[in-house]
Amino acid sequence: MFQNLIFDWSGTLVDDLGPVLEATNHVLSIYGLPAMDREQFRRRFRLPYMDFYAEVLPDIPLAELESHFRPAFDQALTPVTILPHAAEKLAWCSALGIRSFVLTSMDTIAFERQLHDFGLAHHFEATYSGVLDKREVIHQIIAHHHLDPKKTAFVGDMTHDVETARHGGVSSIAVLTGYNHAEVLAAARPDLTVPDLKVLKDLWSLRLDQHRPTVTVGALLYNDHAEILLVKTPKWKNLWGIPGGKIERGETMLHALQREMLEETGIEIDRVQFVLAQDSIDSPQFMRSQHFVLLNYLAHAQSTEVVLNHEATEYRWINLLDAYDLPLNEATKFLLDHIQHHSLLPTPDA
């Protein structure tokens, strides 16, 4: 777990996308350009925002654009709100003594007003606002506050935040609550991606037992067409794998497997077959140092309707051979190799 967290503000801790979009469209209308809808804006907007405007409105001085944008932002009808789980995450950091900072491109006056209105100022050791290019400030923050880059992460919602973390030599944590779409963020290759700050908090809240391995169950599910189900999970650095989890005290292996499949995919299973056991000791593909004993099964899915919980971000029903085209975690690849070599996957139902 990190000792120092540098947070972006907009899209990470607060939701100001609505008023920003209103103000941006006001600026565009002044120069005779059509308005953008929310999805267009999320795909086109980027930081530093002067680069965005250089593309959309070339040759217009930034100061002139800001003179139109800032009043429109202040008068926007859509309110700025604190994002769900943000206050909880910051309180959790404060309780654990995690040093927290803000690095944001937002105008300083607007930022400090929001910081005060939302009552979050006491959570931060220092804040840095009005920064057009965060890469120019990240080293200053690290040096001034004597932060160990190996124990520091930048948490943000945009590719610029990932690039800033990489520039500063710290870890990057991308959240999917803000400006950039998941596929746009994925192209920047953050070290960890989470749907929201609650998932990040829950991941770090897991109590680690450093002395004994953790026994887990997981299953490669297949449907009547002999397609297999794979899920993409932030815990395994956004690699693809099989659903599964820990065996709880008092559970049989089978009951734990049935419960985990239902919790993580919404699917009930039958025709359960044990395949193999694997060791996973401090895998660099997992989000933290951990020793797992992985009990791998093959099971038939009674439905193809998948309902993911917070532990996975995507799923696919896919042919076994096509699965190798996905970035798989090593344990899943080993399991697929074994199933293919021994022809364990049933043929499609007639």
CATH number at residue 294: 3.90.79.10
pLDDT tens-digit readout, 137-163: 999 999 999 999 999 999 999 999 999
> Residue written as tokens 């710290």?
170
* One domain, residues 277 and 236: yes
Please provide the DSSP assignment of 32-57 as one string.
Answer: TPPPP-HHHHHHH--SSHHHHHHHHS
User: Between 287 and 239, whose confidence is greater?
Assistant: 239
* One domain, residues 97 and 125: yes
In this prediction, residue 48 carries a pLDDT of 81
Please, which pLDDT band fits residue 303 given cuts at 50, 70 and 90?
A: very high
Segment among 77-91, 203-217, 301-315 with least mean pLDDT: 203-217
In this prediction, residue 288 carries a pLDDT of 76
Dihedral angle of Cα 50, 127, 189, 16, to the nearest 10 degrees: -60
**pLDDT (mean) for 229-254:** 93
* One domain, residues 291 and 313: yes
On whether residue 323 sits in a domain, the answer given is yes
Contact present, 160 and 137 (Cβ < 8 Å)? no
Please, which pLDDT band fits residue 208 given cuts at 50, 70 and 90?
A: very low
Domain range for 155: 4-14+81-205
In this prediction, residue 103 carries a pLDDT of 98
On whether residue 347 sits in a domain, the answer given is no
* One domain, residues 195 and 318: no
End residue of a domain, out of 182, 205, 228: 205
* One domain, residues 187 and 228: no
CA distance 220 to 272: 10
* One domain, residues 8 and 145: yes
**pLDDT (mean) for 62-73:** 91
On whether residue 50 sits in a domain, the answer given is yes
Q: Is 215 exposed, middle or buried (0-12, 13-18, 19+ CB in 10 A)?
A: middle
For 7, the token pair is 């947070």
* One domain, residues 85 and 68: no
On whether residue 346 sits in a domain, the answer given is no
On whether residue 348 sits in a domain, the answer given is no
E strands in 19-125: 81-82, 99-103
Q: Pick the most confident of 137-141, 180-184, 199-203, 234-238.
A: 137-141
Buried-state track 228-262, b at ≥16 Cβ within 10 A, e below 16 = bbbbbbbbbbbbbbbbbbebeeeeeeeebbbebbe
* One domain, residues 185 and 248: no
* One domain, residues 133 and 36: no
On whether residue 325 sits in a domain, the answer given is yes
> Residue written as tokens 């037992």?
209
* One domain, residues 86 and 184: yes
* One domain, residues 186 and 293: no
Kindly give, in sequence order, each residue whose CB lies less than 8 Å from that of residue 320, ignoring residues fewer than 6 positions away: 226, 228, 336, 339, 340, 345
Q: Report the number of distinct structural domains present in the chain.
A: 3
Residue 95 predicted with pLDDT over 90: no
In this prediction, residue 35 carries a pLDDT of 94
**pLDDT (mean) for 8-23:** 93
* One domain, residues 93 and 69: no
pLDDT tens-digit readout, 98-123: 899 999 999 999 999 999 999 999 99
User: Between 199 and 138, whose confidence is greater?
Assistant: 138
Model-level pTM? 0.58
Average pLDDT value over all residues in the chain:
92
End residue of a domain, out of 157, 176, 205: 205
Residue 290 predicted with pLDDT over 90: no
Residue 308 predicted with pLDDT over 70: yes
Kindly give, in sequence order, each residue whose CB lies less than 8 Å from that of residue 349, ignoring residues fewer than 6 positions away: 224, 225
**pLDDT (mean) for 272-294:** 91
Contact present, 225 and 261 (Cβ < 8 Å)? no
For 122, the token pair is 């006491």
Contact present, 47 and 105 (Cβ < 8 Å)? yes
CA distance 100 to 125: 6
In this prediction, residue 349 carries a pLDDT of 67
Report the CATH number that the domain containing residue 124 is assigned in CATH: 3.40.50.1000
